[in-house]
Amino acid sequence: MSTTHATGNPADLQAKLRDPAYSAFLLLRTVFTVAPIVFGLDKFFNVLTHPHHWSMYLAGWIDGIIPGTADQAMYLVGAIEIVAGILVAVAPRWGAWVVAGWLAGIILDLLTGPGFYDVALRDFGLLVGALALARLAHGVHTGSIVAQMPRR
């Protein structure tokens, strides 16, 4: 079997999807595109946290150093999350690192503030997934992760 880049036809896509590393890349890229955008949008609507607001997750010390209200801070958080999700979609090699850094900040907030340790643990798992995406995206970008194409 020879290693080549796919040309975009359906047979090439099928071959790429058979590559476990490439399919893992696509799964993680999809999740880390959709999830930050959905969570970011919800910072404006609070549907997922109803009847509360996302600001309940904000550590008091962070609320004390930022201007405005905690809810206003969550609007900024939401905008950043939306941008991070879009960045993963268009440039996963960089966007994954942004999401990983953002998750590290969220974990710090949760561990030093309101005591949502279970959510911090879940976000640690997401952080590891974002780091895995960053590594896989680098492999896809450099060509070290490519589908094994059948000989013709």
In this prediction, residues 54-74 reach a mean pLDDT of 96
What per-residue string of b and e applies to 67-88 under the rule 16 or more CB within 10 Å gives b?
eeebeebbbebbebbbbbbebb
**Residue pair 72/31 in contact by the 8 Å Cβ criterion:** no
pTM of the predicted structure, to 2 decimals: 0.87
- Alpha carbons within 13 angstroms on the beta-carbon side of residue 86 total 8
* Residue 64, pLDDT score: 95
Q: Does residue 98 register a pLDDT over 90? A: yes
* Residue 73, pLDDT score: 96
* Residue 148, pLDDT score: 52
* Residue 151, pLDDT score: 46
List pLDDT tens digits, range 5-54.
445 677 777 888 888 999 999 999 999 999 999 999 999 999 999 999 99
Alpha helices in 46-69 (DSSP H): 60-65
